[in-house]
Structure 1
């Protein structure tokens, strides 16, 4: 992507993908970006952002997302400095609620994308529970990264059953069957994706994305393998 945005996106489309998740407009205006992607047969229904944007330029960012055709906006990641205490998470929940109100007025759904640290006990509580309990379930949805949830010892389907309808988007990311449990192309590791997608109605899943943070083979090869294996799943 750093060397050839258009060429890379065209290859992604050629593999068979029709949707991408982003947080950038590739140097174009949102409207230009929407047309740019459409010309390749791609759409970007959702984008992920940092809390710094939510605290500073959120209204403008939401307006741009509307122009770019997005239906979902979410928190991409929480930095270590902003999640040291349970009180920090309570403040983040307040920020999510406020940010989600702005999104709602624009017809966009807000969500939070997890990693593994949200499930690690802190001060006798589980941070993910704080996010779930202290945010409005209609305003703030969850984008479940199944790899990070699994790595943290969570069962994605159990989370769906406990919080029905709260997971409109999931990241399909596999885990190697090795001691270090590294990232792997979908369908080559240890996660049962069919079981997860079988629960899509209770979860409320509308979109699912292949994601792989680090690839041991060229990324385009990795996502081609993932695409073929996702195609084999019954959805």
Structure 2
């Protein structure tokens, strides 16, 4: 099947449409913003928060997803207020943040970490509080975990926020014939718990992202977009250089419910900002073009 974006590029119909259609309907088309998960720059952020965010903005990013917040140290010694000002000064918004929740997710865990995350997210004007990872000790009862996610989602909703869960590959281990990921999807309330699909980790687990979207439409308002090296699947590479068929996946963006596309790269084989620039431009020109 020829993808719509490929068809338009090959046929020249896009040019004809802008010429013949009333009011030039393509003139108002604005490409979707592409964000960056700040974990990608974990080497430079602790040394230079301001300079790193300035360089990220120069690449073209308009959004960033935070990680690493702590009540004692905020963001690498930069307070929430200072961090927000640096973002504002560089035209950067932060719709989502990763906040560790292991203590809360224990069976009788208190809400301290959850409330801390909510306070930080509201200060930064974020929309999503995202659970980024589960320690091994929490990976034994996903039905109970789904209940905790629903509970946390209700607390976030009352605070004007949304809760989301970010996957790695272990969520695709099976329990009685069903993956942990699907147990969570099936047992969480749609209006309380969303999912941030990390496409790389889905593919690395041997699962088809499109099949998940088809089965659970609208559950994935956030995507982590990162490509898989063709020579070593444990490594990332620039978007478009790897083995993941993003042209196909992006055709399902609407069905997925994806509102935020967040680039992440966990390793670099070339200069980091050159890598980010290549990936950003590929997404904008080839996948959103």
- TM-score for the superposition, normalised by structure 1: 0.92
Match of 1:15 among 59, 72, 78: 59
- Name the counterpart of 2:91: 41
Match of 2:123 among 48, 59, 67: 67
Match of 1:205 among 258, 277, 286: 258
- Change in 2 beyond 3 A, CA 1:8/1:213: same
Match of 1:6 among 43, 50, 54: 50
- Change in 2 beyond 3 A, CA 1:197/1:109: same
- Name the counterpart of 1:154: 207
Deviation larger for 51-60 or 185-194: 51-60
Distance 1:226 1:76 in 2: 23
Poorly superposed stretches of 4+, deviation over 6 Å: none
Distance 1:109 1:53 in 2: 20
Matched, 1:140 2:193: yes
Q: Deviation at 1:180?
A: 3.9
Matched, 1:94 2:150: no
Distance 2:47 2:85 in 1: 21
- Change in 2 beyond 3 A, CA 1:28/1:3: closer
- Change in 2 beyond 3 A, CA 1:219/1:122: farther
Q: Mark the structure with the bigger radius of gyration.
A: 2
Higher RCO, 1 vs 2 (CA within 8 Å, ≥6 residues apart): 2
- Name the counterpart of 1:77: 133
| Superposed CA offset, 1:170-200 (max 9, x none) | 0001001125452111111011222222211
Distance 1:146 1:108 in 2: 24
Match of 2:173 among 120, 123, 127: 120
In structure 2, stretches of 5+ residues that fail to align are 1-44
Q: How many residues align?
A: 232
Distance 1:180 1:70 in 2: 32
Q: What is the root-mean-square deviation of aligned Cα atoms in Å?
A: 1.7
Distance 1:45 1:198 in 2: 23
| Superposed CA offset, 1:95-130 (max 9, x none) | 211111111011211110001110122454311111
- Name the counterpart of 1:129: 182
